[in-house]
Structure formats: structure tokens, C-alpha cells
Amino acid sequence: MDAERLLIAGGGLAGLGAALALRQAAPGLSLDLLEQADAFSEVGAGVQLGPNAVRVLRDWGLEGGLREVAAFPIDLQVRDATGGALLGALPLAQRAERRYGAPYATIHRADLHTLLLQAVRAEGGTGLHLQQRIGALELLPGAGLQLRTEDGASWPAAALLACDGLRSRVREQLLADGTPQFSGHVAYRGIINMARLPPHLRHNGVTAWLGRRMHAVHYPVRAGQWLNVVVVVEGDLPDGPVGWDHPAQPQALWHSLGLLPHRDLHQVLEAVPLWRLWPLFGRPRVARAADMVRGPVALLGDAAHPMRPYLAQGAAMALEDAWALGRLLAAQGGGAAPDWPALLQRWAQARWRRCAWVQARSQRNGTIFHAGGLLRWGRDSAMRLLGPKLIDVPRLYAGPPPI
């Protein structure tokens, strides 16, 4: 057995972030990353990066690259989806820098993935292996593990980081806690060239539209040249194969809305040339460190704590997971090979409460965003009165907590 090798399952944001963090922390580490796809790539969707996530990228030396491809919104506006009234606004830009020491960024997911992949390759020393679909996981007596892939290859290792997403095959074997459950919410996603929009809709900001049983969010990506659009509605699981990404017809979106959107929101939605449908699945909230680590195996990102999109922190929490693990490894110093079970246990103890809190806050936001009746009236009144105090999340954006 390779007594020192660390394996990473999954080449998405969590996996590449972990590879980069650990390579920077321990340049001599034996590290291999296994990705099931034929190529390293990401889907065409946007990602919001709060100051907590940007701070992680800065620590990895990636802020320069981020500034070339991301947008940096000047504010976050919350509006009524039917009447268009401004319910509240939070200045971003300089305020985020001043208060949290890092900006608020929005980026195309593929651009963030490319940024991380290029950084991992530039660091060198990490084996990047494609077409490696996870098979059986065996924890060996004493120490270490053996991971088999479906092509028959065997990967002995000292430890494994499972970054293989919501439907993690590693989690399935490690925790045996069933499959993800449909949330009752469906996301429609699309992207628009800003040039296709009238000038008054080319706003360099995050705009959230709240309606009964739905909400929509749009924000700039790709250095402000494109607008990412997401509409989340409540409804049944679509017919067809269960998955996370399907082509969608505009008529299905309009039918699902259940309301007549304000003219500005209507114009934005009509301008989207191609919609993708993402049924939103989830798992119970993390409740203890053992939900993230068992012996020499750790779950990171969506494999550990899938986030509902109502706090825009799924990518950020995956990056924080990777950063925290890198910091713990760096603190150990050089010399002897890491005691991976002990190190991973310390990492899980440092992470699980924050991840559970973000999961809970995200779920609560979904209820508030989609409220009707008296709850909606109370939400709107409170937001008009308190504005930034309700929209800002200091406990979140001031992180990640020191390690």
C-alpha cells in the first residue's frame, strides 16, 4: 500500500480546491485526484462568492485571476416580483472590502473551475486522472484504505477526500444514509449576453425578486459581459430521469411561475435564449463531526453538506472546507507523514457547526423568500424598515473562522 498517498474523488470545485490547498500546504504530498468525466469541465451557471469565499481564493494566490473573469456587484437589491417595489438594498463593493476585508464577487462557474484547475496544474505534483468512476471502498484493518474504480483499477491510499457531489458514491458506502431527497423546489437557469438587454437592465448588481412560492435572482458574470439568471419555483419533480440538469422549455417556466412578473423581470426572463432545469435535492443537515469524517475518509462540499441556493453559499462552503484542511495540514509542519484520521477528525470538529448553521440559514431563507399572506407582509415591512441589517450576514461573511 502507498502509505502516504492521499486520494481525492471528484474534480469539481471542492476537489480542485482541496488539491490546491493541500499541495500548497505540503508540496511533497503524494496526491492523486480521480474524476469520472472524460474532461475537466463545469456547467454553464453562475456562482456568488461572498467575502468569505474571496478571502479563501486570495489566500491561495488567485485574486488576480479572479479579478480578470469575475464581476464585482455594487449592491444587492431585493424587489417584489409582481409590483417591482424595492424592499431593501445592501451596498457591496467598497462596503464589503471595508467591513470584511474582501469584495463580493459573482462568477461563471466554469471560469472559477478553470481558475482552480490552472492553479493545481501550475503547482505541479498532483496526478489528475479522468474516466475514473468510483467503485468499491474498503477500509483496511489498522490503517489506510483501498478504492476501486469501475474499470478495475485499484487505488491504495492513506486517506480519501470525497468531493464527488450530492450523489456521492463514497458517502453511499461510508454512511449508508440513503439517497438525496427532492426538496419540492425546481430551479430554472439561464445566461444572457448583456448586449441583448435594454440599458436600464444592465445593472452591475445582484437583484433578487421575491414572490409567492417563487423567487428569481440575476447578477453579472464574465467580467460583467453576461447576466446569470436563476428562477426557483415550488412544484413536483419533473418527469423523466432523475438528475440535476435538464433542458427546459420557456412555456414550462411561465406556467410554473404562478404570477405575472413585473415588466423588468419579465424582460429579463424573455431574453434568456436557453433554459436549463435543475430539480433541487438535499439531505438532512450535518449534526455532528461523524457526518463528515469516518476514519481516513472525509466528505467535502456537497458530498457532506449540500446547500439550498437561498444563501448562495454552496461553492463558498466547499472552498472553505478545502482551505481549512489545508491550514491544518500546514500547521502540522513537515517531517513525518500525517496521521490522517486524527487530522481529518480535527478538521471535521472545526467545520461541522458552521456548515450546519449555513444549511439551516439557507433553508430558512427559502421559506422567507417564497412567503405569502401575513408572513410575506411581515417580511416586506421588516425589510423596508431595517434593509441592510436583514440582508447582511456578518457571521457568514466574516469567515471562514481561523484555524
Name every residue whose Cβ is closer than 8 Å to that of residue 222 and which is 6 or more positions away in sequence.
69, 71, 107, 108, 111
Mutual orientation of helices 314-332 and 340-369 as an angle, nearest 10°?
A: 160
Residues 204 and 220 sit within 8 Å (Cβ to Cβ): yes
C-alpha cell at 232: 426557483
What is the rounded CA–CA span in Å between residue 115 and residue 117? 6
Residues 29 and 38 sit within 8 Å (Cβ to Cβ): no
Residues 186 and 232 sit within 8 Å (Cβ to Cβ): yes
DSSP annotation of 400 reads: S
Amino acid at 68: E
Would you give the end-to-end CA distance of the chain in angstroms? Answer: 31
Q: Are strands 126-129 and 134-139 parallel, antiparallel or unpaired?
A: unpaired
Residues 246 and 97 sit within 8 Å (Cβ to Cβ): no
Q: Is 35 helix (H, G, I), strand (E, B) or coil?
A: coil
Residue with C-alpha cell 457571521? 395
Of 208, 198, 203, 242, the closest CA to residue 220 belongs to 203
C-alpha cell at 131: 474516466
- Catalytic sites, residue numbers: 219
